[in-house]
Amino acid sequence: MKDTSAGVAELIADALGVYGNDPQLRTELESYAQRLNEPLRVAVAGMVKAGKSTLLNAIIGEEVAPTDTGECTRIVTWYRYADTPRITLYPLVGKPRSLAVRRVRGRLQFDLGQARAEDIGRIVVDWPAESLRNLTLIDTPGIASLSSDVSARATTFLTPEDAPSEADAVLYLMRHLHASDLKFLEAFRDTSAGRTGTVNALAVLSRADEVGAGRIDALLSAGQIADRYRHDPALRALALGVVPIAGLLAQTARTLRQDEFNALLKLARLDKVARERMLISADRFCRPDAELEVTKEARASLLERFGLFGIRLALVLLRNGITEPTALAHELAKRSGLRELMLQVTRQFESRGSQLRARTALTGVRVMMKEHPREGAAQLAATVECLESGAHELTELRLLARLRGRDVPLAPPQAADAERLIGGSGAAPAARLGLPDSATPQELRAQALGSLHRWRLVSENPLTDRAALEACQVVVRSCEALLAAQYSRQSASGGPALAGHLAGPEPSGGTGEQTGDKRRAG
């Protein structure tokens, strides 16, 4: 994607020559240029009380996002990396001003003073968290809020009508799949400004521990629901995956305190009957009991931080041999679903970050040319068309959306193979080739070569549907790029060149699979 990013940067420089005399448009273009070199912007969106701020805290690893129902949750808030903590309020009218950085019991507090949420454009929190080095996270107000102003603020920010979205990708939280969820995801994929038709969202089944009423196997039940949603045709066309997560547990695991560990350890040492009786319900857990070493207030705090599911899980882990706070925190984070979510974020977003940023900048320039015709813009339009048609990475994103929407006439096994090869399961070579991350260079080369010849047979088969031919050619080019990358590494260390492998005969193995492809084509 390096060449495409460089091409987009040159396009923006040329656009500045056309629109530079307009201060507003110049600022907009300069922001696109800056955005090409910034970390990927990922918005956290969803209905009211979906657990957005809680999940954001879990990802960052600190309690910096307010999780109550105060004024701050009604404001679009950016969290980005900086060496020094700083909070800046940007009003709709007037100059930005700094807010005091104050923490109470580990939680960051925002003091807005006399400012009202409806008068604030955004809050930017600069924070020295390693997790923010490669991602800028954006917390948004609840979609479909009872307050139309709050809901409109989130929708306008994420899906503007006359500009590309300020977010490159979105984590969309939902507790159940509703029509309003699909409506938002459809708008984010295909805004009237962009019409990019690309899929750049991950659905998150939030508060997954509540699916099983706090039972210890709640996440297993949530996983089954997520798998069903994953195969829902409507959602599949709009989201790259569905990940279940217990957000509260994830946040607490990332911010576990020593006093909480000590209290949990005392509760884990209770006899089985007393422990199970106490965990029947939240009311029973917080009931006054003089015989317990852990006070009522401490138990209420545990309930607020862990939830009943988290407490039950933590006690099981402690009784099974965990003796250190760090080990408990790691295991709770793993079981909360946070690790799987971050793996998907890395595979689906971070690995193709330059593609998403370049696509956003291209969309912005295209919209500017449409809204503000100028003499000299014709050459810009030609450059945009050239970049969009010539940038294979962007072509892959568009094809991925078509495949997930079942708009390509390929047999299901072929469609699944094509989707994986163009990056539907992740942009890394191993993910594209269906191999484990530990695959050797030899295994990657062999799999890439086999995939290339398999898809060449499909694309050259006269029975292949003409409507599918373009998609087949995109997959072939993706296979060629995978193979070229592997042989480039090999040739750098004195290995053979690639040309003979691309032009040579098909490998003798896999004949049955290739013949099967011929039969299925069309």
pLDDT tens-place string over residues 139-161: 988 876 555 566 677 777 877 77
Count how many residues are written for the chain: 522
pLDDT for 95: 93
- Sheet of 86-91: strand order equals 97-99, 86-91, 120-127, 77-81, 135-139, 40-46, 169-174, 201-205, 242-244
Q: What is the mean pLDDT of residues 434-450?
A: 93
Structure-model confidence comparison of residues 383 and 72, the more confident one: 383
Would the pLDDT of 216 be above 80?
no
74 and 220 share one domain: yes
Domain encompassing residue 473: 377-520
218 and 299 share one domain: no
Would the pLDDT of 503 be above 80?
no
Would the pLDDT of 500 be above 60?
no
298 assigned to some structural domain: yes
498 assigned to some structural domain: yes
3 and 113 share one domain: no
387 and 511 share one domain: yes
Kindly tell me the sign of the dihedral angle through the C-alpha atoms of 191, 197, 202, 203.
positive
> What's the rounded Cα separation, in Å, for the pair 139 and 75?
8
109 assigned to some structural domain: yes
pTM of this prediction?
0.82
Q: Which residues pair with 97 in a beta bridge?
A: 89
155 and 211 share one domain: yes
299 and 424 share one domain: no
365 assigned to some structural domain: no
Half-sphere exposure for 320 (CA within 13 Å, toward CB): 9
Last residue of a domain, one of 299, 323, 358: 358
Structure-model confidence comparison of residues 239 and 488, the more confident one: 239
Q: How many domains does the chain have?
A: 4
pLDDT for 145: 56
The one-letter code for the residue type at 239 is A
Which of the four pLDDT bands, split at 50, 70 and 90, describes residue 440? Answer: very high
Listed in sequence order, the residues at least 6 apart from 244 whose beta carbon sits closer than 8 Å to its beta carbon are 204, 205, 208, 211, 219, 222, 223, 225, 226, 337
371 assigned to some structural domain: no
> What's the rounded Cα separation, in Å, for the pair 174 and 278?
31
Q: What is the mean pLDDT of residues 418-438?
A: 91
Would the pLDDT of 514 be above 60?
no
pLDDT for 69: 57
242 assigned to some structural domain: yes
Provide the token pair at 397.
């994103």
Which of the four pLDDT bands, split at 50, 70 and 90, describes residue 445? Answer: very high
Half-sphere exposure for 399 (CA within 13 Å, toward CB): 32
Mean pLDDT score of the chain: 85
pLDDT for 515: 39
> What's the rounded Cα separation, in Å, for the pair 356 and 168?
6
121 and 239 share one domain: yes
Which of the four pLDDT bands, split at 50, 70 and 90, describes residue 426? Answer: confident
Last residue of a domain, one of 304, 336, 368: 336
pLDDT for 491: 63
Find which of 47-61, 68-82, 482-496 is predicted with most confidence, using mean pLDDT.
47-61
- C-alpha closest to that of 245 among 426, 427, 54, 67: 54
84 and 30 share one domain: no
pLDDT for 111: 85
pLDDT for 166: 85
295 and 389 share one domain: no
**Furthest-apart CA atoms within the chain: distance in Å:** 83
Would the pLDDT of 257 be above 80?
yes
436 and 501 share one domain: yes
> What's the rounded Cα separation, in Å, for the pair 336 and 307?
12
Which of the four pLDDT bands, split at 50, 70 and 90, describes residue 496? Answer: low
pLDDT tens-place string over residues 316-371: 999 999 999 999 999 999 999 999 999 989 888 888 888 888 888 888 898 899 88
pLDDT for 171: 94
33 assigned to some structural domain: yes
53 and 183 share one domain: yes
Would the pLDDT of 214 be above 70?
no
105 and 180 share one domain: yes
pLDDT tens-place string over residues 2-45: 478 889 999 999 999 999 999 999 999 999 999 998 999 999 99
pLDDT for 85: 94
pLDDT tens-place string over residues 446-486: 999 999 999 999 999 988 888 899 999 999 999 999 998 88
Would the pLDDT of 179 be above 90?
no
Q: What is the mean pLDDT of residues 415-432?
A: 91
368 assigned to some structural domain: no
Cα dihedral 340/346/352/357 (nearest 10): 110
